[in-house]
Amino acid sequence: MFLLEHDAKSLLALYDVPAPEGVLFDGVDIESAQLPQPPWIVKAQISAGGRGKAGLVRTANTQNELRAHLRAILGATHKGMMVRACRVEQQVTGVTEAYISFMVDPFSAGVRIMLAEFGGVDVEALAGTSGALRCAIVEPKIEVITAKVRELTKGLTFNIECALNDAGIRLAHAFIGAELSLLEINPLFVRPDGSWIAGDAKIITDDNAMFRQSGLRALLDSRAIAYPEADRKERHGCDYVVVDPDGEIGLLTTGAGLSMMLIDELREVGLRPYNFLDVRTGGLRGNPARLISVLEWIAEGPRVKVLLVNIFAGITDLGEFSRLLIESFSRVPQLDVPIVARLVGTNVESAREILALRDISLFTDLDKAITQVRKHLLHA
Amino acid sequence: MRNPRIESGSGVIVQGITGRAGRMHTVRMRNFGTNIVAGVSPKPDVLEIGGVPVFATCREAVLATRANSSVLLVGAEQLLGAIEDAVHAGIKLIVTPTEGMPVHDALRARRLTQEAGVTWIGASTPGMAVPGVAKLGFLPEAALSAGPLGLMSKSGTLSYEAGYRLTLRGVGTSVWVGVGGDPVKGTYFSELVPFYASDSQTEALLIVGEIGGREEEDFAEALMAQRFSKPVFALIAGRSSPEGVTMGHAGALVHGSYGAYTSKKAALERAGVTVFGSLDEMTSVIARWHASRPHG
């Protein structure tokens, strides 16, 4: 999961990584907040790059300016994401900017280290400047990473060499300790005396390691509102993403790849799916709770006019699944839309009988099911 | 070279055979023809399940049965330990359907299996199959039939859908490998290119990929390096997915242009791969190829 900058810096603080003092705002009520000394930098908290160019990072010298910037940035959208919060932090001056990152390198099963004497620009830009970026891939062990950082920094301007070496040690502890997939400090602010502070922080965590990452777990529990998808997965055991708030087709689907492909194909022919879902039928175990939750979420879609159920079950008994489905529908009356079901797998015939009781027609051919969805949309 | 081909009669172990998934899939795999010769479980009171002897460690199971392949149906928290157990016992083909393996554990398992010359398929894989011979994992029978098409996929369900449609059109598979949707895993598409190039039963190759990572791009490079001469087809899911949101699979995360659909499509097409826009197109083009083969 991609951590917002504010949370990335909070996590890094557990590993003694210094960052400018900062406060998180989801509104413009700045009077009651413990603000650091001005001037401030106001930074939109979203999980997409290019914030600076999009005008979502601004400098404020007075409280009025600060309020105006917050008003302008909060609620803005960038790359399809709405800004729900801003981090306001003290501006750092009198520094130069460097770059360092650690990243899981899947193919070599190692850690890719990248560092540069210059920072503040995209790593792609650094890579394009001849000799600017120094890289290596090493075994994922703290002592191996820090030794390689020492080697890579040799010959850099002395204060930057000192800063990157110290950063390398702290960041390697964070990377291995918190089991991160990506950790990037860009820019890393370096003072003339070789001390340093993280200007920005980009982190991708591993959801699968959460069970043994209590620090990260506690941090995210307190910030569940900022990560609705991850929180949902944690609590309900399924993946759900609203892909189009104005979408007209609710999707009850299993399997990430097939669900993505279905969305692609529906959009290709001009239809508007509302959500992505991998409900994981194998994990239902006779309990309708997850299906009920999913139907409740889909019912929140203001323009959802039809529900398409698409399950290709390798293992799941479709008769049992259909019984759960019928029970779940009766518990979510607010989802008052026609239902089209396409099921393939074990026990289709019993599924057909059960669904017929609710006047739901069952298809085994996906294209025919989509044609039926179209008919319902025309009549809606 | 990684080699997923299971020979007829070759012995297979199920690690975690006493669990819910272990019991169920042992029956299903045997019904398909898989020669399951032993199970492994830490439970001291279970000596056999459905006639399959159960051992405490993989080493004991291998010593008693000479099995060289293993399916691991254990929880994500035990997976790294179970892989280590299998490698140390001398197993040469490991299939791990388990979902949710921590990335840093996968790094260690990948280093270990590579050094030991073991073919590791997974994690988060629906498994693999050689139709007519054996299946290791969950692949549904409705999607499996023997034929000349090699198939590799990241996604389980999308490959089921593809295999099902192709089977309805009379196109079967030679060796089907679900490499899984995790970012760090035992076997990537590109690493099976040498195998599919040399496998005499495989006349063409289909990959079912998705956005995220650079596996499809690496695969395209491997095809060119190999001078792969058989027809190659690709279906890639997620072209309309939003940036920065993980779509189910941990690996399916697009960030900037990294992992994006357009980059994958371009790389594959440069390598001469036919990339399909829909399942329907995939089915008809591959069925046409199948029918037009000289001996088809």
Residues A198-254 have pLDDT tens digits of 999 999 999 899 999 998 889 888 888 888 777 777 788 888 999 999 999 999 999
Answer yes or no: same fold for A21-90 and A96-214. Answer: no
Please state which of the ranges A11-25, A119-133, A338-352, B129-143 shows the lowest mean pLDDT: A119-133
Distance CA A181, CA B290 (A): 42
* A239–B183 CB contact, under 8 Å: no
The label of the residue with tokens 């289909």 reads B206
CATH fold label, A96-214 = D-amino Acid Aminotransferase; Chain A, domain 1 (3.30.470)
What is the C-alpha to C-alpha distance for residues A328 and A279, in angstroms, rounded to an integer? 14
The partner residue sitting opposite A264, judged by closest CB among B28, B161, B240, is B240
Q: Does A258 contact B277 at a Cβ distance shorter than 8 Å?
A: no
Partner-chain contact A211 B77, CB within 8 Å: yes
- Cβ–Cβ below 8 Å for B138 and A140: no
Residue type at B214 in one-letter notation: R
Scanning A274-333 for CB atoms below 8 A from B yields 276, 278, 312-315
- Give the gap in angstroms from C-alpha A61 to the nearest C-alpha of chain B: 32
Among B residues 113-172, those touching chain A with beta carbons less than 8 Å apart: 114, 126, 138-140, 142-143, 153-161, 164
pLDDT reported for residue A132: 86
What's the average model confidence in pLDDT over A187-204?
Answer: 97
Cβ of B221 under 8 Å from any chain A Cβ? no
**Cross-chain Cβ contact A255/B185 below 8 Å:** no
Asked if pLDDT for residue A150 goes beyond 80, the answer is yes
The three state secondary structure string of B117-133 is CCEEEECCCCEEEECCC
Is the CB of A234 inside 8 Å of chain B's CB atoms? no
- Cα(A88)–Cα(B267) distance, rounded to whole angstroms? 42
Burial annotation A340-352 (CB, 10 A radius, 16+ → b, else e): bbbbbbbbeeebb
Q: Which residues of B touch A254 (CB under 8 A)?
A: 157
Residue A263: list chain B partners with CB under 8 A.
240-241
Ranges of H-type helices in chain B: 20-32, 58-65, 76-89, 103-116, 156-168, 193-198, 215-226, 261-270, 279-291
Higher-pLDDT residue of B294 and A176 is A176
Decide if A139 contacts A99 (C-beta within 8 A): no
Note the pLDDT of residue A282.
Answer: 78
- Chain B nearest-CA distance from A1, in A, is 7
pLDDT of A64 above 60: yes
Q: How far is B96 from chain A (nearest CA, A)?
A: 15
Query: What is the average per-residue pLDDT within A21-43?
Result: 92
Nearest one of A347, A348, A346, A378 to A363, comparing CA atoms:
A348
pLDDT at A123: 77
Q: Does A347 touch chain B (CB under 8 A)?
A: no
**What average pLDDT is seen over chain A?**
93
- At A316 the pLDDT is 83
pLDDT at B294: 83
User: The tokens 């299998």 sit on which residue?
Assistant: B86
Catalytic positions of B are: 249
Residue A124 has pLDDT above 90, yes or no: no
The list of chain B residues with pLDDT below 50 reads: none
Distance of alpha carbon B128 from alpha carbon B138, whole angstroms: 8
Tell whether B276 is within 8 A of chain A (Cβ): no
Query: 10 Å Cβ neighbour count for A106?
Result: 23
CA–CA distances in Å: residue B66 to residues B83, B135, B193, B198? 17, 19, 29, 26
Q: Which residues contact A379 (CB under 8 A, 6 or more apart)?
A: none
Return the domain boundaries, chain A. Answer: 21-90, 96-214, 237-379
Instruction: Assess if CATH 3.30.365.10 describes domain A237-379.
Output: no
Cβ of residue A29 closer than 8 Å to a chain B Cβ: no
More confident residue, A179 or A361: A179
Contact A278 B76 (CB under 8 A): no
Q: Does B210 contact A257 at a Cβ distance shorter than 8 Å?
A: yes
pLDDT given at position B139: 94
Q: How confident is the model over A121-139, as a mean pLDDT?
A: 84
Q: What is the mean pLDDT of residues A361-378?
A: 94
Domains of chain B (ranges, CATH numbers): 1-124 (3.40.50.720), 140-296 (3.40.50.261)
Q: pLDDT tens for residues A321-345?
A: 999 999 999 999 999 999 999 999 8
Give contacts of B245 with chain A, Cβ < 8 Å.
47, 229, 241
pLDDT band at A29 (very low <50, low <70, confident <90, very high): confident
Give the chain A residue nearest B106 (alpha carbons): A109
Mean pLDDT, residues A168-180: 98
CATH class of domain segment(s) A21-90: alpha beta
Name the residue of chain A whose CA is nearest to B281's CA.
A265
Closest-CA distance, A22 to chain B, in angstroms, reads: 24
For A53-63, what is each residue's pLDDT tens digit? 899 999 999 99
Residues of chain A neighbouring B168 (CB-CB closer than 8 A) = none
Q: Which residues contact A283 (CB under 8 A, 6 or more apart)?
A: A237, A238, A290
Q: Give the closest-approach CA distance of B135 to chain A in angstroms.
A: 13
Q: How confident is the model at residue A80 (pLDDT cuts 50, 70, 90)?
A: confident
Partner B contacted by A127 (CB < 8 A): no
C-alpha A19/C-alpha A36 separation (Å) is 13
Report the residue from B101, B237, B250 with minimal CB separation from A257: B237
